Structure 1
């Protein structure tokens, strides 16, 4: 017997606001027939291509301290640097810049969303392929 992941859940204090913020980051959409509106305690988004779902759920006391689970994002149509710039303009803040930590062309940037959740931006598939072919 096995299990599968139904969806990824983020505890938060404002489900609507955080879901809208992540919608702009991931390009996910609202679930048809399940409107995400201000004041809703649960807002779910879905990736139109893969069907992966993310649920934002309001809880009275989100886990204090460092979140134990986070997103690792890989840019789909740009570079790591371009994606970091886009996300900073979208309202993220830098938590740690670990670019080049393991040599040129390596590393990631850890960012923070509006509610303090950490997430990382990795190199794109194209950047990884270029690094593998040159080295």
Structure 2
């Protein structure tokens, strides 16, 4: 059995604003939006049907943001990891995220880790990993 990791759902106070922030960060786009959700999809995403399982399973995961009345209060149990390519300047990418409204976060990581923990504008933690080519 193989299921496709179709989308990752994120609760948000302002779901549309947070979805747009993530779309900008990832270079993705808004695929669908209403008062109940805002879906962020990769650039190649299409609404065309996929006829075979093998192709279906190769599709990239999207993000969906849903409004909730409560704010974030504790560390995420699930988070997003971003990774720059070895040709990219990792520190510059982190600075660009900070300029867009991300903040540095201490979740107990030690100084020798190879990732940087940040939070999006609503406080959801995510990591920028070391540069890699796979």
Aligned to 2:92: 82
Output the CA distance in 2 between the equivalents of 1:96 and 1:86: 19
Deviation at 1:67, TM superposition (A): 1.1
Scaled by the length of structure 1, the TM-score of the pair is 0.75
Give ranges in structure 1 of 5+ residues lacking alignment. Answer: 129-135
Deviation at 1:92, TM superposition (A): 0.5
In the alignment, structure 1 residue 109 sits paired with structure 2 residue 121: no
Cα 1:63–1:101 shift into 2, 3 Å:
same
Deviation at 1:62, TM superposition (A): 5.3
Q: Over aligned residue pairs, what C-alpha RMSD do you find?
A: 2.5
**SS, match of residue 18 in structure 1:** helix
Scaled by the length of structure 2, the TM-score of the pair is 0.75
Output the CA distance in 2 between the equivalents of 1:58 and 1:73: 24
Aligned length: 118
Give ranges in structure 2 of 5+ residues lacking alignment. Answer: 45-58
Structure with greater contact order relative to length (CA < 8 Å, sep ≥ 6): 2
Q: Deviations over 1:36-89 (max 9, x none)?
A: 36xx23000111245421000112335631111110000246222111011011
Q: Match for 2:131 among 124, 132, 135?
A: 124
**Paired residues of 1:16 and 1:41 also in contact (CA < 8 A):** no
